[in-house]
Chains A and B, each alone.
Chain A
Amino acid sequence: MQPKNVILLGVLALMSIFSLNFLIQAFAETTPEGYVIRQELVWGLFYEMMVAAFIVGAVVNGIVIYVIWRYRESHKRNRIVEPPAEGTGA
């Protein structure tokens, strides 16, 4: 396995472990006060995930919108310019 793949797998594994730990905390049996904290954790996680989703969504959908704007047939760089007819002196 190439070194960059090892690093990538390592990062993914660490991310998984951290997120599992977070989930276990969120699900842990707890006191009434802890229940409130757990609710805060869950909403915090929701907020973080939605921020991540909006950022990724904005990037992906932004690229789609850029691509359809830049490569539309009516874009000035995409117009087919007829070559001048021979013998016109143009």
Chain B
Amino acid sequence: MVLEVKKPRPLWEIIFSTHHTDIGLLYIIFSVTFLMMGGALALAIRAELFLPGQQIIPDPATFHRFFTVHGTTMLFLWAIPFAAGIGNYLIPILVRYKDMAWPKLNAVAFWMLPVGAGMVWLGFADLGWTAYPPYSIIRAPGPAAELWIFGLKILGLSSILGSINFVVTILRCKHPDLPIMKMSLFAWSILAISFMQLVAIPTFAAALIMTYTDRLGISGFFNPALGGDPIAYQHLFWFTFHPEVYIFLLPGVGMLYEMIPKFSRKPIYSYQSGVIAFMLLSTIGFASWAHHMLAVGMSFTEKTVFMVGTLAAVPASAMHVFNWIATMWGGRIKFAAPMLFGIGAILLFFASGAGGVVNTALPLDFITHDSYWVVGHFHLILMGTVSLTFTGFLYYMFPLITGRMYNEKLAKIHFVAAFTGIIVVFMTQHLLGLYGMPRRYFDYVPLEEWIMMNQIASTGAWVVGASYLLMIYNLLRSSAKGVFANMRDPFNIGEIYYDYRRREPIH
């Protein structure tokens, strides 16, 4: 894309391109757009909860629609497409191949996203992003629910096509002079999540079809009145979506492995341990799905197995953290905005992980289950670790994409506001959970503590929202009027940047 600055091209040429950098750019623009849209819904939810009683959202059903579409958007239209976008941009560069293995398939995978996104947003369903039966099969109003189901089918198919392309590009198109154990750890992370998606998504695809046929009344897989079992849906759902947590997380970990050595001006401390930790996490991710369901009445043995399976992720996660610390140790760290976001993400990674360990301990899960503690926990991992890393990497990629530099001062203000706001919102939500506030409720009892903590959380959320608006302003303005970047070393760290000239021979 750097050539767009030197030699502008008409928009349609980018839109209909099959080149990996163009598809990557489309993915990134798409995902950041939906980050802002999903974020707007979150701010509306926080405004509603600022005080007890009805505020700005007219009724509980609409409130349910807001958080359903917010969750679906942030997970499937922000986190996954952004990782796919960066993967599209970088994987062919990192494995030294001219493009993705199947460029047209790559374009098809991207263009399925707006279709799926349109269905989710036009339907504006109220299922919750988990779409648990029996509500989703009996009472949830159509056609919103049907649009959500088929929107998710399309988004899942897009992920499958993208994953196949990544696996083949990395394993079959990699340059013969590049041994797999010398390949970038970011490429390893994309390889790991691609395999995970290929294993995980078909299960949810089956569950969606079963939900749909149950809604039509021609089956009763999850309908207790017809002998079905709603808990079976939860097993199918979480078999896909617990691994999906790692599918959101691992690209962020890979991005940190790109940024930390460069900004620390030191090689990665232990490349092998990074690879092993990726393999461990992508395997262990499938061994812990039922920890989301410890309260549904499983046997003690089953619960213990899933508790231990969950805790098994701790050592693998710790391997990454210690690798980052050891990489920074003895380095000469430059605090450009991407590195600040990376360090913020590492600090919050531990905090969110500790909350997860509490969740998985069986007796404690009964205290925290379905409370705001859980909301705080998973938002801390998704906003505090995943989104902060993604945001930092967006700044890191900005010179490669546009050939210009963003405004460093505004980016640092963005970091401080986002980091502080995220701590204020999600730590407070942990406390709200311990004070007994249930999640997904439109209204709440006017207890003084609950009101105060909700107001603190809402204020923090607005700070985060404002900081991301600042990012959009910074990136839009800088892409048109920013200073031209020194493309060999845009961050002035003495390290070689990516091969930015790779488009030149093609066009």
Contact = CB atoms under 8 A, between A and B. Distances in A.
A45 B328 contact: no
A20 interface: yes
B304 A23 contact: yes
Contact of A57 (B325, B350, B361, B362): B350
B231 to A, nearest CB: 19
Interface stretch (A1-9, A62-70, A82-90): A62-70
B270 to A, nearest CB: 16
A65 B346 CA distance: 10
B425 to A, nearest CB: 19
A61 B354 CA distance: 12
B330 interface: yes
B321 A71 contact: no
Contacts of B362: 23, 26-27
B328 A42 contact: no
B436 to A, nearest CB: 13
Interface string B321-363: 1000100111111110000000100110011001001100111
A45 B333 contact: no
Looking at chain A's contact residues, the main secondary structure is: helix
Nearest to A42: B363
Contact of A67 (B300, B325, B334, B351): B325
Interface in B199-213: none
B333 A72 contact: yes
B264 interface: yes
Contacts of B304: 20, 23
A30 B264 CA distance: 57
A73 B366 contact: no
A49 interface: yes
A45 B358 CA distance: 10
B329 A67 contact: yes
A68 B328 contact: yes
Interface in B10-56: none
Q: On chain A, which size bracket covers the interface?
A: 20 to 34
A47 to B, nearest CB: 10
A53 interface: yes
B329 A53 contact: no
Given A42-B363, A42-B367, A53 B354 contact: yes
Contacts of B346: 64
Contacts of A49: 357-358, 361, 364
A47 B351 CA distance: 16
B393 to A, nearest CB: 18
A46 B350 contact: no
A64 B347 contact: yes
Contacts of B329: 67, 71
Interface string A31-70: 0000000000111011001100100110011011101100
B450 to A, nearest CB: 20
B457 to A, nearest CB: 20
Nearest to B328: A67
B333 A53 contact: no
Contacts of A50: 358
B264 to A, nearest CB: 7
B363 A78 contact: no
Contacts of A72: 332-333, 335
A14 B447 CA distance: 44
A89 B357 CA distance: 64
Contacts of A60: 321, 325, 350
A2 B335 CA distance: 44
A20 B346 CA distance: 31
Most buried by B among A23, A46, A60, A78: A60
A78 B264 CA distance: 12
A45 B264 contact: no
A73 B346 CA distance: 19
B363 A63 contact: no
A71 to B, nearest CB: 5
Nearest to A22: B363
Contacts of B300: 24, 27
A61 to B, nearest CB: 5
Contacts of B366: 42
Contacts of B364: 42, 45-46, 49
Contacts of B343: 64, 68
Nearest to A78: B332
Nearest to A20: B304
19 contacts: A23-B362, A23-B363, A26-B362, A27-B363, A42-B363, A46-B364, A46-B367, A49-B358, A50-B358, A53-B354, A53-B358, A56-B354, A60-B325, A60-B350, A61-B350, A67-B325, A71-B264, A73-B332, A78-B332
Given A46-B367, A71-B330, 4 more contacts: A27-B300, A45-B361, A45-B363, A71-B332
Interface of A: 20, 23-24, 26-27, 41-43, 45-46, 49-50, 53, 56-57, 60-61, 63-65, 67-68, 71-73, 78
Q: Give 10 nearest A-B pairs by CB, closest first.
A: A53-B354, A42-B363, A26-B363, A73-B332, A67-B328, A78-B332, A72-B333, A71-B331, A71-B333, A46-B364
